[in-house]
Chains A and B, each alone.
Chain A
Amino acid sequence: MVWVNTIVQGVLLGGLYALFAIGLSLAYGVMRLVNIAHGDFIVLAAYIGLLVVTTLGVHPFVALPAVVVLMFLLGYLLQRGVLNLTLGPDILPPLLVTFGLSIIIQNVLLESFSADSKALEIGPLQTASIHLGEQIAVGWFPLIMFLVALALTVGLELLFARTPLGMAFRATSDDQQIAQLMGIRNRHVYGLAMGISFALIAVGGVFMGIKTTFTPDLGPGFLLFAFEAVVIGGLGSFWGTFAGSVILGVAQGIGFQLNPGWGILAGHLVFLAVLLFKPTGLFARTR
């Protein structure tokens, strides 16, 4: 029963990692752009959530839509104003620029909010849980987080499969030159892709801020988890990324159960094993 509980908690933790990872998967899928500052933007979103909560005195769940809108705009403007200029045949410029952004964000957050840990409070819901039998308790909040991640994954899949914007995303990803011949303004499409990526980051950041306390230096760790989830799942589908996130969460849970020091390590080992034995990822849609 201990192990069943471990796996259930790991799956729910995977929900948070999915919130971290699907935005990264989206940006890479559409633009072949790896945003090294992805994790730092997750932390930034949590601090923006904190600002909204403290200045307006609202519940974090009420603040969430505002954070989502702000982050969407930030993502769109960042892509149009900065990242579009770095895209080209050379993959290095976007990596360097987002690496620089990562350092800037961490230091701005440190200057503005200090290194003291902060948290977003949601009151009794934080600890409320449903008991399923003797040893298994599912927290309401991790469950909500998991379901939100699931819903967003479904939403993204539908957006890509069914809408004109999704078609434009896929076409631009396939061949951005020919996409322009269809009247698609690729710079705008890239802006929208990054905007949506940042909206997902906003959800991930606020949920992270509710789940645990946060400090300005957590970003690179989050980037790593998101990156591992994307690689484990494989590129080409958001379901793959979602599954990769759950696998990462379960691996970490099992590691923690074996020894409190082994949790993160177990996740890394699963990631390395996938890289070694199935480098395209477990659920890649082959092209």
Chain B
Amino acid sequence: MLSVHNLEAYYGDFQALFGIDFEIAAGETVAIIGANGAGKSTFLKTICGLMRTPPDTVRFEGAPIGGAGASEIVKKGIALVPEGRRLFRSLSVEENLRIGGFAGRGGAWTLDRVYELFPILKDKRDAPAPSLSGGQQQMVAIGRALMSNPRLLMCDEVSLGLAPIVVKDIYDALPDICTGGLAVIVVEQDIETALRMSDRVYCFMHGKVSLTGRSAELSHEQISAAYFGL
């Protein structure tokens, strides 16, 4: 579904990604792990169009999408749950969800279905987004991304700053989300969680892929070597 070939990314003169190759198929859940500064978030930003790249480096459902603007890419079916949630402060919970549907892609995800997935949000629908707890805000951020009815959902550090029990609640919702061939990329600091919920895993180090394989088949030694470069 998504195929990335020899992707490079720069912040000014600083090179953050050095020739990343990456594949994900429909219905797959792929985790990206790696230390801070390994280039995980940069990778997601490049896919969703917040950073520009030559067209052919990123192909989505066969078509080159690299270099298209972020507002175009979401309409093709790629949604990002950004790191730190980044809800719209001056919008209510429901407005944050509704604006997720602005991409104009019809589909199974509606306001009602998001409320079904996260019932607590229905009670808080008229509350300003910043008044919610961290976990609830994360639910809004996920719901907002789902409202665009993506084919590929990318979650950046969903567990950041949340209590473990809340993280579990959110990841427990994942099977309900991954229906109808939705592909999911999860960037995750917690390696255990990442391995448990993914089919395959990529480990990034210093802007390169240091290890990739099926999550169930990788050993701890392999992962720590790829993670820390030991």
Is B213 in contact with chain A by the CB < 8 A criterion?
no
Question: Which residue of chain A lies nearest to B69 when distances are taken between CB atoms in the complex?
Answer: A180
Is B148 in contact with chain A by the CB < 8 A criterion?
yes
Alpha-carbon gap, A171 to B96, bound state (A): 9
Q: Are A167 and B74 in contact (CB under 8 A)?
A: no
Q: Are B80 and A181 in contact (CB under 8 A)?
A: yes
Q: Are A178 and B90 in contact (CB under 8 A)?
A: no
Q: Which residues of A contact B90 (CB under 8 A)?
A: 170, 173-174, 287
A-facing mask of B172-198, CB < 8 A → 1, else 0? 000000000000000000000000000
Q: Which residues of A contact B50 (CB under 8 A)?
A: 177, 180-181
Partner of A182, one of B49, B69, B89, B148: B148
Interface residue ranges, A against B (CB under 8 Å) = 164, 167-168, 170-171, 173-175, 177-186, 287
Nearest Cβ in chain B — how far from A184, in angstroms? 6
Q: Which residues of B contact A164 (CB under 8 A)?
A: 102
Q: Which residues of B contact A177 (CB under 8 A)?
A: 50, 70
Q: Are A180 and B88 in contact (CB under 8 A)?
A: no
Q: Are A183 and B75 in contact (CB under 8 A)?
A: yes
Chain B: interface size category:
20 to 34
Chain A at the B interface: mostly helix, strand, loop or mixed?
helix
Q: Are A181 and B88 in contact (CB under 8 A)?
A: no
Q: Are A287 and B89 in contact (CB under 8 A)?
A: yes
Is B100 in contact with chain A by the CB < 8 A criterion?
yes
Q: Which residues of B contact A168 (CB under 8 A)?
A: 99, 102
Q: Are B86 and A175 in contact (CB under 8 A)?
A: yes
Question: Which residue of chain A lies nearest to B86 when distances are taken between CB atoms in the complex?
Answer: A178
Is B48 in contact with chain A by the CB < 8 A criterion?
yes
Partner of B102, one of A170, A182, A287: A182
Q: Are A174 and B70 in contact (CB under 8 A)?
A: no
Given A167-B95, A174-B89 in contact, is the A181-B79 Cβ separation under 8 Å? yes
Interface residues of B in 79-117 (CB under 8 A from A): 79-80, 82, 86, 88-91, 95, 98-100, 102-104
Q: Are A183 and B88 in contact (CB under 8 A)?
A: no
Q: Are B91 and A182 in contact (CB under 8 A)?
A: no
Question: Which residue of chain A lies nearest to B89 when distances are taken between CB atoms in the complex?
Answer: A174
Is B71 in contact with chain A by the CB < 8 A criterion?
yes
For A171, A177, A186, A287, which residue has the most chain B Cβ atoms within 10 angstroms? A171
Given A164-B102, A178-B82, A182-B148 in contact, is the A170-B88 Cβ separation under 8 Å? yes
Interface residues of B in 37-83 (CB under 8 A from A): 48-50, 69-71, 74-75, 79-80, 82
Q: Which residues of A contact B148 (CB under 8 A)?
A: 182-183
28 residue pairs bridging A and B, Cβ less than 8 Å apart: A164-B102, A167-B91, A168-B99, A170-B91, A171-B99, A174-B88, A174-B89, A174-B91, A175-B89, A177-B70, A178-B82, A178-B86, A180-B69, A180-B74, A181-B48, A181-B70, A181-B74, A181-B80, A182-B74, A182-B100, A182-B102, A182-B103, A182-B148, A183-B71, A183-B75, A183-B102, A184-B71, A185-B69
